[in-house]
Chains A and B, each alone.
Chain A
Amino acid sequence: MSIVTVQLGQCGNQIGFEVFDALFSDSHCPQGLCSKRENEAYQASCKERFFSEEENGVPIARAVLVDMEPKVINQTLSKAAHSGRWKYGQHSCFCQKQGSGNNWAYGYSVHGPRHEESIMNLIQKEVEKCDSLNGFFIIMSMAGGTGSGLGAFVTQNLQDQYSNSLKMNQIIWPYGTGEVIVQNYNSILTLSHLYRSSDALLIHENDAVHKICAKLMNIKQISFRDINQVLAHQLGSVFQPTYSGEGSFHYRRNPLGIDWQVRPPLSGLPTLGKMSLNKEFHFNTSIANLVILRGKDVHSAELGAFKDPALYTSWLEPVHAFSVWKTQRAFSKYEKSAALVSNSQFLVKPLDMIVGKAWNMFASKAYIHQYTKFGIEEEDFLDSFTLLEQVIASYCNLGF
């Protein structure tokens, strides 16, 4: 089962490169801490998922690179080619010259329709190379113009054209303080549109990753490269092959087969009256948690704490909400490693902050003329605000 990656904008392309590099390095790592046969099965599975084969043996990433200005894509292509170990397809990129000007409206309403056919054709070609397509992994940022606006447009198109395939968006949450002044507008427009067409939004906050670099890794002068590499490492540890069931020896064929959708109980959410008086205030309530363990002693790892009902919302049993995947094959030379993917209230505070700031700016009508110039009107903004307030409220209510 293969995944086609779509890299959009400067952020998407810079990260995409690091992700493929991390996946490739790990799969070719000699110290797998497992048998040779197992290592080979791991490699083969990773390869099928993310790379296609070429005649002279250099694997080609299953990726489509899109950017509205050429510098980053050119850099990305040459970095990959230089490594000599893997590369991007020669004709897998779509590039323009003028950029999107950090303008979501320009990315969505101008670039989108203008280049729809070319971009979707490129994706189609990549899909055809797969024996069986599992889904799409779309890497984009929320703050700029191309990743955010064009990314939302492309995801919508993928929803229309490949409705049976999973679409997972890897979204980069910008630093709280200034990368782009209109980042809050771009973010709310992106999120509200993606909510209607994406299956899963995997979020990485620049601030959080920055802290990891500073506090956990002690890097003195943190560059975007450092941040992207941490990110790629995290993604790699989630997406690399794992066993499909307890004791099974075949690698899971469906890497994105997590049940991400929230399904409230059929009878609807419990009303406030039914609230249990014994429940303490929850720090962070989850809908679903996935733990991925790799390396030594995976089968004896103690995971009881993850099954505590206090972690989960009242209308979910831990057995439904918590999953664990294990594999003995170590990841990226780490003897033991664990990854946690969580659908929880974790992002309520950052989301609330972004919506709040965008709302304050919207009230003064600042910068709105830049969006209306390209067809995004005040009603579109209001729609976005409404949708996101609903998301915030829904997540907040999980605690009850």
Chain B
Amino acid sequence: MEEGVVNEILQGPLRDVFDSKQLITDISGSGNNWAVGHKVFGSLYQEQILEKLRKSAEHCDCLQCFFVIHSMGGGTGSGLGTFLLKVLEDEFPEVYKFVTSVYPSGEDDVITSPYNSMLAMKELNEHADCVLPIDNQSLFDIISKIDLMVNSGKLGTAIKPKSLVTSSAGAFKKRQEKPFDAMNNIVANLLLNLTSSARFEGSLNMDLNEISMNLVPFPQLHYLVSSLTPLYTLADVNIPSRRLDQMFSDAFSKDHQLIRADPKHSLYLACALMVRGNVQISDLRRNIERLKPSLRFVSWNQEGWKTSLCSVPPVGHSHSLLALANNTCVKPTFIELRERFMRLYKKRAHLHHYLQIEGMEESCFTEAMSSLSALIQEYNQLDATKSMPAEDLPRLRIAV
């Protein structure tokens, strides 16, 4: 809802990738106010948005899913972004909605971000099929780790400077001042790997609708923790099995996650492994067997693994792995969000900015709170089963 960023894209190297007629901009921005984004700009631009969506959809032989990419803490991405989810649901009810949401970190500079995030969460709960939460702190940590590796020459082998992860933006100094390019590059890789099996051939394909089918056991619980390996390139082309196994171990290490969470000490509901490159089914199975004992799966889904093998690796790597986990470890993120929200809301701080928008009432806030609390409660209930032994339920008895 302001022109700066979009204009920058249109003047940048990718300007020809985007259809200039498919852009909607305004001038003043949303002022970091979810209500402005959702209610004001939502109603203002609804028709235009619908029209452009329909136009894009017409070009598709078969529309399978939408990717909504936004942040939770601001006004436009958060407000208008979640408004869009409702529009998509009404207009294209059969099409899946994958939402990549950047959650605000502990020290973010937008004071009202807890309000915006809370209000957006309610919409995500109700209208998204699958959400991939990401936080800036994790991305920053990953970039720092890469820098450290590259600077100290720790790996011993040559690092390919043109690896897709360390973007072509150039020198490290520049990156330290403006890390967002590199951080966003990681999210881009996430989406690349997510769609690789749909774009390229492989011995075990996985479409995007399969992600939702396999990783969302209950409609509410659709928040997936993602982790990506490798994060740097290795110069060796023929990597012996040990390094391959290392890739799997890395995917389950906290360093490679795009959101801060601790899946190993929480409960897995389901896990998907999307492998790219010259990896075969036996490698996959060997690693699952190896890693399984250290992970706790819910009692009714002890073998809750979904796997895919895509033959084409990402540029500059010989193989890669994306792990998506539906795990109760997202609960702390939500609890923290609620706490930060409560700190502001208790004092009614900045509330008037929201309430003065037409259509906004205090009930919007309380409803959002109860929606999030209900979600946290569902995770609590599952966590409670963590320590219970997995029992086989009595089966149907048949008279022969």
Contacts and interface: CB of A to CB of B under 8 A. Distances in A.
Interface of A: 10, 14, 69, 71-72, 75, 96-99, 101-103, 145, 175-182, 210, 213-214, 220-225, 227, 355-357, 359-361, 363-367, 369-370, 385-386, 389-390, 393-394, 397
B283 A10 contact: no
Interface stretch (B107-115, B333-341, B389-397): B389-397
B25 interface: no
Contact of A179 (B62, B301, B307, B393): B307
B209 A366 contact: no
18 contacts: A98-B64, A102-B209, A102-B210, A178-B303, A178-B305, A181-B270, A181-B303, A210-B281, A210-B282, A210-B285, A222-B280, A224-B204, A224-B309, A356-B392, A360-B392, A360-B393, A363-B300, A389-B398
Contacts of B283: 221
Please name the 10 residue pairs, one residue from A and one from B, whose CB atoms are nearest each other, closest first: A178-B305, A101-B209, A97-B62, A222-B282, A366-B217, A223-B280, A224-B203, A181-B214, A99-B207, A364-B300
A365 B339 CA distance: 32
A339 B397 CA distance: 36
B288 interface: yes
Nearest to A207: B285
Contact of A394 (B392, B395, B400): B400
B204 A227 contact: no
B282 A221 contact: yes
A97 B61 contact: yes
A101 B212 contact: yes
Nearest to B269: A366
Contacts of A389: 395-398
A365 B303 CA distance: 16
A96 B307 contact: no
B87 to A, nearest CB: 21
A313 B62 CA distance: 54
B280 A221 contact: yes
Nearest to A223: B280
A175 B281 CA distance: 11
Contacts of B241: 221
A268 to B, nearest CB: 11
B218 interface: yes
Interface in B38-73: 61-62, 64
A114 to B, nearest CB: 13
A118 to B, nearest CB: 16
Contacts of A103: 209, 213
B395 A356 contact: yes
Given A71-B205, A98-B209, 18 more contacts: A10-B204, A98-B64, A99-B64, A101-B207, A103-B209, A177-B292, A179-B204, A182-B213, A221-B241, A223-B280, A224-B203, A355-B395, A359-B395, A367-B216, A370-B213, A386-B398, A389-B398, A390-B400
Contact of A178 (B207, B280, B288, B395): B288
Interface residues of B, number: 45
B86 interface: no
A227 B281 contact: yes
A369 B219 CA distance: 7
Interface of B: 61-62, 64, 201, 203-205, 207, 209-210, 212-219, 241, 270, 280-283, 285, 288-289, 292, 299-307, 309, 392-393, 395-398, 400
Given A177-B285, A181-B270, A363-B300, A99 B209 contact: yes
A176 B303 contact: yes
Contacts, number: 135
A10 B310 CA distance: 13
B327 to A, nearest CB: 14
Nearest to A390: B398
A136 B305 CA distance: 33
A69 B393 contact: no
Contacts of A360: 299-300, 392-393
A72 to B, nearest CB: 7
A207 to B, nearest CB: 9
Among B212, B280, B288, the most chain A Cβ lie within 10 Å of the Cβ of B280
Nearest to B62: A97
B281 A98 contact: no
B154 to A, nearest CB: 29
Contacts of A99: 64, 207, 209-210
B137 to A, nearest CB: 30
Given A355-B395, A359-B393, A393-B398, A177 B205 contact: no
Given A97-B62, A223-B203, A394-B400, A366 B210 contact: no
Contacts of A14: 203
B93 to A, nearest CB: 11
A181 B215 contact: yes
Contacts of B201: 71-72, 75
Nearest to A228: B203
Nearest to B221: A366
Among A102, A225, A369, A390, the most chain B Cβ lie within 10 Å of the Cβ of A102
Nearest to A367: B217
A224 B306 contact: no
Contact of B62 (A96, A210, A370, A397): A96
A221 B218 CA distance: 36
B219 to A, nearest CB: 6
Contact of B203 (A69, A98, A225): A225
B215 to A, nearest CB: 7
A222 B281 contact: yes
A241 B62 CA distance: 44
A224 B283 CA distance: 11
Contacts of A366: 217-218, 300-301
A365 B393 CA distance: 13
A113 to B, nearest CB: 16
Nearest to B400: A393
Contacts of B400: 390, 393-394, 397
A69 B205 contact: yes
A176 B304 CA distance: 11
Contacts of A390: 398, 400
A386 B399 CA distance: 10
Contacts of B392: 356, 360
A140 to B, nearest CB: 15
A357 B205 contact: no
A97 B400 CA distance: 45
A369 B218 contact: yes
A262 B174 CA distance: 76
Contacts of A72: 201, 205
A186 to B, nearest CB: 10
A393 B201 CA distance: 42
Given A71-B205, A369-B219, A394-B400, A182 B307 contact: no
Contacts of B305: 177-179, 181
A370 B214 CA distance: 9
A385 B48 CA distance: 50
A69 B204 CA distance: 13
Contact of B303 (A222, A355, A357, A397): A357
A179 B241 CA distance: 21
Nearest to A97: B62
Contacts of A176: 303
B282 to A, nearest CB: 4
